[in-house]
Amino acid sequence: MATALVPLAQGCEELEAVTLIDLFRRAGVTVTVAGLEAGPVTASRGVVLLPETTLDAVLDQDFDLVALPGGLGGAQRLEADRRIAALLRRMTEQGRYVAAICAAPKVLASAGLLDGREATAYPGILDGQTDLRLSSAAVVRDGTFITSRGPGTAMDFALSLIELLCGRTKRDEVESALQRS
């Protein structure tokens, strides 16, 4: 069974975090929701999320995917956390998937993981990054790196990640049940 880690930081974008967690669970992915510190996380619009564990408690575990929700405040906290940078580098070295949406691709860029790659993000977030190819696509995959633009692309982002982890049939099954069309 595929595994995913969704780290939550104060100020994260709740729509992105909840969409990732919900759709992964619908697909049968084992999701670990970890706060940067113990206790509730107040998201960017005031929604309070309760992580199941802390990042410290799961740092030594292996995951198939780490998916970073955005939200400017959350992304800034993820970017400032050395544990996140070390985890992302380890995932990259192991050839595992690293995903980020909205403001969170800046976390990947800060860690030097988007150098020479194509990526997308919330408009303006990656401006000034000269060592990557910036795309306006809703979801961009470059090797094991997957990025997405923002809250409005969260469902497409999560479904793309499900397809990577579980295959096209599972993605189609989850998407069909959502009644998107």
> Residue 49: beta bridge partners?
41
pLDDT digits (tens, 9 = 90+) for 87-105: 999 999 999 999 999 999 9
- Report the catalytic residues: 102
- What pLDDT, on a 0 to 100 scale, did the predictor assign at position 128? 84
103-151 residue pLDDT tens: 999 999 999 999 999 999 999 999 888 789 999 999 999 999 999 999 9
Quote the domain boundaries for residue 54: 3-178
pTM, two decimals, is: 0.96
How confident is the model over 8-31, as pLDDT tens digits?
Answer: 999 999 999 999 999 999 999 999
- Number of structural domains, the chain? 1
Residue 160 belongs to domain with CATH number: 3.40.50.880
pLDDT at 71: 96
Confidence of residue 46 (pLDDT cuts 50, 70, 90): very high
Which distant-in-sequence residues (6+ apart) come within 8 Å of 28 by Cβ?
1, 2, 166, 170
- Cα(29)–Cα(11) distance, integer angstroms: 25
CA-based nearest residue to 24, from 162, 179, 171, 175? 162
Taking the CA atoms of 48, 53, 54 and 55 in sequence, report the sign of the dihedral they define.
Answer: negative
pLDDT tier, 180 (very low <50, low <70, confident <90, very high otherwise): confident
State the average pLDDT over residues 80-90. Answer: 97
Decide if pLDDT at 181 tops 80.
Answer: no
